[in-house]
A = this chain, B = another copy of it.
Amino acid sequence: MIIVIKDNQMTIIDEIRNRFEGTHEVFVHHNRVAIQGISETDLTQDEKIAADAIIDNVPAAVQGSRLFHPEDTVITTKHSQIGGAHFTMMAGPCSVESAEHVMKMAKVAKSGGATILRGGAFKPRTSPYSFQGLGEDGLKYLRAAADAYDMDVLTEVMDQDHVDMIARYTDIFQIGARNMQNFSLLKAVGKTNIPVMLKRGMSATIDDILNAAEYIAAGGNHQIMITERGIRTFDNKYTRNTLDLGAVPVLQKLTHYPVIVDPSHAAGHTEFVVPEALAGVAIGASGLVVEIHDDPAHAFSDGAQALKPDEYRQMAAKAFAIRQLITTPNEEKSEVTL
């Protein structure tokens, strides 16, 4: 249940909190108090009087809900703002391959307007015998490349025991699709104050990902963004996954966290990455995260889906233009009357 407190009754919030904390989960956001597991009959007469509105049927993932937190969350890092009116480009290689290569890729990413450099140093590979990433060395190269171009670092954490170490290098943690319900990992990043990009699992429903985000929020970390990266459906002959772009406005209605689109993993093939990226912008995502490579055929991982530098820059120019177009009110007035 959420109680919306009247402006002139805000002092009751502490009383409510004190009364329920210990026995219930209680969350406060401005004039809204969410209490898990109670109903209106549990409120005192004074509390009811102080309420401007009482909202039942609140989802379990209450801290992420617009009902509890109506305004957009905007995440601020050193070089970027994510969410709200902002549009953010994130680009980089799938894997950090070497100090030189990630430096080169940072330059490309920046040239297309990216303020966040992505790159994997610990790679979740389907087979135990595949390349597993450069590890901490990779993180050093990634950090250096981002610093050289005044960008933020985004990199994946796969293991709760790596959180502290990776925290020394990254500005944003990525939780990958396969770990979306690795609750120990979610709790571990929830205890940090570093923003988290949470990728939707391949068969995660909208509610599943909001509950996964809630595991992070429950630890006190509210700087969360949610990334749509394609789901598993019956049709995967020509694309790797089905990009569920319809999830973007649905998520934006339900949650205040920024919603990002990753067209690379969904498309799986370069030729489909650009149109899926532009569609992601048109549908209203707060940003894109794309994989780039100057020599995709020799990429350490996922080369088939990496954009070449020129493809990336042309896509990015279109993306910013579409973003501007959809956020500008139509000039022409509707003059037809029925």
Report which A residues bind B (CB closer than 8 A): 25, 36, 60-61, 104, 107-108, 111, 124-130, 158-161, 178-179, 181-185, 187, 201-203, 205-208, 211, 214-215, 218, 230-239, 242-250, 253-254, 266-267, 271-272, 275-276, 278-284, 294, 309-310, 313-314, 317-318, 321-322, 325-326, 330, 332, 334, 336, 338
Contact = CB atoms under 8 A, between A and B. Distances in A.
A238 B250 contact: yes
Given A25-B129, A61-B127, A283-B278, A317 B336 contact: no
A178 to B, nearest CB: 4
A264 to B, nearest CB: 12
Contacts of A253: 271
Q: What is the count of identical protomers in the complex? A: 4
A38 to B, nearest CB: 13
12 contacts: A108-B338, A111-B336, A126-B181, A128-B211, A159-B184, A160-B161, A178-B183, A232-B234, A245-B245, A249-B272, A250-B272, A279-B282
A196 B283 CA distance: 28
10 nearest A-B residue pairs (beta carbon): A203-B203, A282-B282, A178-B181, A111-B336, A279-B283, A60-B127, A159-B184, A279-B279, A128-B218, A232-B234
A258 to B, nearest CB: 15
A245 B279 contact: yes
Contacts of A160: 159-161, 184
A267 B249 CA distance: 10
Given A203-B232, A322-B325, A336-B313, A266 B246 contact: yes
Contacts of A158: 183-184
Given A211-B127, A325-B322, A338-B108, A239 B234 contact: no
A314 B333 CA distance: 9
A60 B127 CA distance: 6
A138 B202 CA distance: 32
Contact of A126 (B60, B236, B294): B60
A336 B242 CA distance: 33
A26 to B, nearest CB: 11
A294 B338 contact: yes
Of the listed residues A201, A239, A282, the one surrounded by the most CB atoms of chain B closer than 10 A to its CB is A282
Contacts of A271: 249, 253
B231 A242 contact: yes
Given A205-B237, A239-B250, A246-B267, 10 more contacts: A108-B336, A124-B183, A159-B160, A203-B203, A205-B234, A206-B237, A230-B246, A249-B275, A279-B280, A309-B334
Contacts of A237: 205-207
A290 to B, nearest CB: 15
Contact of A334 (B231, B238, B275, B313): B313
A111 to B, nearest CB: 4
A298 to B, nearest CB: 15
B330 A317 contact: yes
